[in-house]
């Protein structure tokens, strides 16, 4: 069947990708075709534990502006997002856009899930694996977690070499190590989109494994990086702290994200207009 590429059809498709949807008696916030299904940290933890207890493989994604921007141009990353039904609102702009549509979300980051999830799986005696950063950071992270969650069963750790590719032999080796370890939950701190792509591959390869992409969270736990104070996180200003900490690396990214946010806000506010160039 020939695909309808008329302006009216493209407009309808764009608007459908940005229209929140009702699931049961609740609304799911939808943005660029991605549904936020986990509305709070408590719901995220509950859903993750439910999947772990049922021995079902899964991974989550934590949506922020940087991810949204990558989803526009990276088909592999988009496929990874579309294959999971466990997605949180990581960025405060996502929470703000949802609120404009009457959907209340709580910002739920990978970093914020590490310690509560470790405590929860320790209670049900499930072993945990950690992938990311460096051996030094992982050692410090494990030391901190053992102090905070003494009953935590740690199945293993792996620090990939520099230039890690989630499709190469090193990734295959990590997946095999996780399988042999017997881990049931794995935290992956490799940065987006590598960590999400790796999570999707590992979940497909290992039955009963759950994976949580966490970015810089392992460095926060290890205290090799300092996270923004709680009050800055609560009011959505964690980005200011991070920008001040790493201006050279983050300033260009945040500038692109700000421009992109304005485009997304326009789409959500006014929808797509036939014949209108969204880049203008």
pLDDT tens figures, 48-65: 999 999 999 999 999 999
pLDDT bucket at 235, cuts 50 / 70 / 90: confident
Residue 177 has pLDDT above 80, yes or no: yes
Give the least confident one: 26-30, 56-60, 179-183.
26-30
Arithmetic mean of pLDDT, 248-269: 87
- Of residues 1 and 51, the one with the higher pLDDT is 51
- Confidence band, pLDDT 50/70/90 cuts, at residue 7: very low
CB 35 within 8 A of CB 28: yes
pLDDT at 67 over 70: yes
Task: Give the mean model confidence (pLDDT) for residues 1-14.
Answer: 40
Six token digits for residue 233: 């996180």
Residue 20, phi-psi category: left (phi > 0), alpha (psi -120 to 50), beta (remainder): beta
What is the 8-class DSSP label of residue 18? T
Q: Across all residues in the chain, what is the average pLDDT?
A: 89
- DSSP states along 129-172: EEEES-HHHHHHHHHHHHHH-TT--EEEEE-PPTT--TTSHHHH
Total-model pTM: 0.88
Which residues are registered as beta bridge partners of 24? none
Which segment of 9-18, 174-183, 256-265, 268-277 scores lowest on mean pLDDT?
9-18
Domain ranges of the chain: 22-230
Cα 7 to chain centroid, rounded: 33
Pick the CATH number of 22-230 from 3.40.50.10700, 3.40.50.720, 3.90.1300.10, 2.60.40.10: 3.40.50.10700
Q: Are 93 and 65 in contact (CB under 8 A)?
A: yes
Q: Is the pLDDT of residue 143 over 80?
A: yes
pLDDT level of residue 267 (50, 70, 90 thresholds):
confident
């Amino acid at each position: 069947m020939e695909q309808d590429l008329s302006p009216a059809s493209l407009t309808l498709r764009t608007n459908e990708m940005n229209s929140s949807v009702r699931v049961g008696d609740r609304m799911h916030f939808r943005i660029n075709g991605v549904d936020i299904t986990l509305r709070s940290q408590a719901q995220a933890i509950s859903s993750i534990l439910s999947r772990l207890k049922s021995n079902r493989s899964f991974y989550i994604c934590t949506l922020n502006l940087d991810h949204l921007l990558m989803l526009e141009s990276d088909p592999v990353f988009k496929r990874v997002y579309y294959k999971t039904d466990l997605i949180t609102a990581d960025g405060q702009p996502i929470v703000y856009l949802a609120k404009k549509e009457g959907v209340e979300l709580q910002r739920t980051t990978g970093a914020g899930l590490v310690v509560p999830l470790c405590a929860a799986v320790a209670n049900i005696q499930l072993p945990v694996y950690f992938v990311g950063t460096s051996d030094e950071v992982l050692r410090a992270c494990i030391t901190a977690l053992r102090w905070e969650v003494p009953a935590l069963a740690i199945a293993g750790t792996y620090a990939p070499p520099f230039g890690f590719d989630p499709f190469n032999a090193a990734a295959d080796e990590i997946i095999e190590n996780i399988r042999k370890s017997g881990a049931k939950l794995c935290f992956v701190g490799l940065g987006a989109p590598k960590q999400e792509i790796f999570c999707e591959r590992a979940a497909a390869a290992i039955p009963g494994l759950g994976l949580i992409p966490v970015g810089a969270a392992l460095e926060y736990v290890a205290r090799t990086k300092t996270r923004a104070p709680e009050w800055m996180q609560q009011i959505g200003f964690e980005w200011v702290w991070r920008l001040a900490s790493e201006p050279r690396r983050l300033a260009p990214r945040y500038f692109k994200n700000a421009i992109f946010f304005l485009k997304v806000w326009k789409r959500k506010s006014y929808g797509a207009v036939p014949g209108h160039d969204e880049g203008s």
